[in-house]
Amino acid sequence: MSNKLTGWDDTIVALATPPGVGAIGVIRLSGKRAIIIANAIFPSKDLQDQPSHTLHVGYLVEGERIIDEVVLSLYKSPRSYTGEDVIEISSHGSPFVQQDVIAACIRQGARLAKPGEFTQRAFLNGKLDLAQAEAVADLIASNTAASQKAALHTIRGGFSENLKELRDRLLTFSALIELELDFSQEDVEFADRAKFYELIAELTSSTQQLVNSFSLGNVIKNGVSVAIIGKPNAGKSTLLNSFLNENRAIVSEIPGTTRDTIEEIINIDGILFRLIDTAGIREHTADTIESAGIERSMSKMKQADLVLYLFDVADMKISDLRLQIADFEKNGITYLLVANKIDAAGENAARNKFSSIENTIFVSAKNHLHTEVLKERMVDTVLRGTVQGDQTVVTNARHYHALKEVEKSLLDIKNGLDNKLTGDLLALDIRRCLHYLGEITGEITNEDQLDYIFSKFCIGK
């Protein structure tokens, strides 16, 4: 990696804690002159003489003027987050004091850091690869146990380890193929083609696993949209309220109560569900507001990741329910059937009536009966068919697209083998595959792309 990036030699400074009043504020300084700059405003001792990973209490001053009493943490290159000399100044948490400290550092020659610049330096100094660096931003943005876990797995190198293995195995073979090219006059094959087939099949399957994990990754990062759909008065708003444990939506015995859609977020087992309560759907209504609401319900239903089809056990006819199911199936909609108001009809009677319909969940939204079962089924439906446990979950769209390219080039290599392509042509596809693997971890990259990726970070990280 070239270290000739713009501003690379500068020593950078930024507030690392959120702006605003707090108990303390941490100002971070990183670069070749970090210790010199800190020394100029921290007269208690010469930090150059102090060992790395030590804390120092004292006054920050500018000439005769005292700025604050602070704690300085000293990290000497290369044993720091960025790999450079790093000083973290814990000051009192007043925005005025923090700005005063930053201004003093700037007057000593530091410049304000750009968003993500500390992490960018960590990447450029080989402290983290690009996938790990991006996961740092994901960890900061994480808002559920699942997103925290996925980000940490990548930061700790789990994903990079998968990619390195793919790359190393492909490299061995590519070396053999390239060797053949040197001996092309003599018609030898160093690379055993049968073994190569095997390898490509294995690599394809590992790549596909990573590609497939993205649907779960997306769910973890962005949540799942759930549309609650059903006829007027089925109890949709009651169900939403029961999930939220509050009276968010108006409930009444008058059909057509909900006119517009209502969205609320809940966290079940570490997954965010965006619940959408909709206007009840009926065939004919003269009310224009209600029909606009119904139209909106239909479009929410089509956009949703999951549909909860709620019905009143007393009202619903088996034949109508079957038509509804056929409609979902035809449109490729992921749905759960939820039979409501079992308290009124009696649970056994309800179960008997719908015994011919598989996978129905029987609840009473009003009495919170079996709503936990429904929640479990919602989670199961989302996680169905996806990798779990400690495996890598790809959550980043950039990684996903690169992996799709890896998958494509592996297919090209396989087709090349099928068609008995010569080594030089195979080598091209192999290099393309290596290129995309390298893009994910940042072995192959350019300055614009890096700037773009790190500009999404917050300042001070």
Ligand X SMILES: Nc1nc2c(ncn2[C@@H]2O[C@H](COP(=O)(O)OP(=O)(O)OP(=O)(O)O)[C@@H](O)[C@H]2O)c(=O)[nH]1
User: Which segment (187-195, 247-255, 313-321, 416-424) binds ligand X by CB under 6 A?
Assistant: 247-255
> Interface mask (CB under 5 A) for Mg ion, residues 349-368, using x and -?
--------------------
User: Which segment (119-127, 258-266, 310-318, 440-448) binds Mg ion by CB under 5 A?
Assistant: 258-266
Q: What are phi and psi of 51, to 5 degrees?
A: -70, 160
State how far Cα 188 lies from the chain centre: 47
**Cα separation of 395 and 432, whole Å?**
23
**Cα separation of 229 and 235, whole Å?**
10
Strand 54-62 relative to strand 335-340, pairing: unpaired
Question: If binding is defined by CB under 6 A, does position 187 make contact with ligand X?
Answer: no
Please report, in angstroms and rounded to a whole number, the separation of the first and last CA atoms in the chain.
21
Element (H, E) at 28: strand 24-30
Instruction: Please check whether residue 335 is in contact with residue 327, taking contact to mean a CB–CB distance below 8 angstroms.
Output: no
Cα separation values, 375 from 119, 267, 297, 385, Å: 39, 10, 22, 18
Among 148, 225, 257, 285, binds Mg ion (CB under 5 A): 257
State how far Cα 386 lies from the chain centre: 15
Q: Name every residue whose Cβ is closer than 8 Å to that of residue 302 and which is 6 or more positions away in sequence.
A: 331, 333
Question: If binding is defined by CB under 6 A, does position 344 make contact with ligand X?
Answer: yes
Q: Total number of residues binding Mg ion (CB under 5 A)?
A: 4
Instruction: Please report how close the Cβ of residue 292 comes to ligand X at its closest, in angstroms.
Output: 14
Instruction: Please report how close the Cβ of residue 277 comes to Mg ion at its closest, in angstroms.
Output: 6
Among 120, 258, 395, 441, binds Mg ion (CB under 5 A): 258
User: Which segment (63-71, 110-118, 235-243, 264-272) binds ligand X by CB under 6 A?
Assistant: 235-243
Instruction: Please report how close the Cβ of residue 336 comes to ligand X at its closest, in angstroms.
Output: 16
* CA-angle at 335, arms to 329 and 341, nearest 5°: 125
Q: How many C-beta neighbours within 10 Å does residue 356 have?
A: 10
Q: Which does 116 bind (CB under 5 to 8 A by kind): Mg ion, ligand X, none?
A: none
Q: What three-state secondary structure class fits 60?
A: strand
Question: If binding is defined by CB under 6 A, does position 253 make contact with ligand X?
Answer: yes
Question: If binding is defined by CB under 6 A, does position 297 make contact with ligand X?
Answer: no
Question: If binding is defined by CB under 5 A, does position 77 make contact with Mg ion?
Answer: no
Question: If binding is defined by CB under 6 A, does position 313 make contact with ligand X?
Answer: no
Instruction: Please report how close the Cβ of residue 225 comes to Mg ion at its closest, in angstroms.
Output: 18
Question: If binding is defined by CB under 6 A, does position 223 make contact with ligand X?
Answer: no
Instruction: Please report how close the Cβ of residue 260 comes to Mg ion at its closest, in angstroms.
Output: 10
Cα separation values, 149 from 222, 293, 394, Å: 15, 39, 12
Considering only residues 409 to 438 of the shown chain, the ones binding ligand X according to CB under 6 A are none
Nearest CA to 159 among 131, 187, 184?
Answer: 131
Among 16, 74, 163, 234, binds ligand X (CB under 6 A): 234
> Interface mask (CB under 5 A) for Mg ion, residues 125-154, using x and -?
------------------------------
Instruction: Please report how close the Cβ of residue 139 comes to ligand X at its closest, in angstroms.
Output: 39
Torsion angle defined by CA atoms of residues 211, 217, 222 and 226, in that order, rounded to the nearest 10 degrees: 90
**Cα separation of 371 and 241, whole Å?**
11
CB nearer Mg ion, residue 192 or residue 260: 260
Among 237, 395, 396, 409, binds Mg ion (CB under 5 A): 237
State how far Cα 145 lies from the chain centre: 12
CB nearer Mg ion, residue 20 or residue 255: 255
Considering only residues 131 to 150 of the shown chain, the ones binding ligand X according to CB under 6 A are none
Question: If binding is defined by CB under 5 A, does position 278 make contact with Mg ion?
Answer: no
Q: What three-state secondary structure class fits 271?
A: strand
Instruction: Please report how close the Cβ of residue 330 comes to Mg ion at its closest, in angstroms.
Output: 26
Question: If binding is defined by CB under 6 A, does position 227 make contact with ligand X?
Answer: no
Q: Which does 381 bind (CB under 5 to 8 A by kind): Mg ion, ligand X, none?
A: none
Torsion angle defined by CA atoms of residues 325, 330, 335 and 336, in that order, rounded to the nearest 10 degrees: 20
Q: Is the dihedral of CA 434, 439, 443, 444 positive or negative?
A: positive
Contact residues toward Mg ion (CB under 5 A) are 236-237, 257-258
Contact residues toward ligand X (CB under 6 A) are 230, 232-238, 251-253, 255-258, 279-280, 340-341, 343-344, 364-367
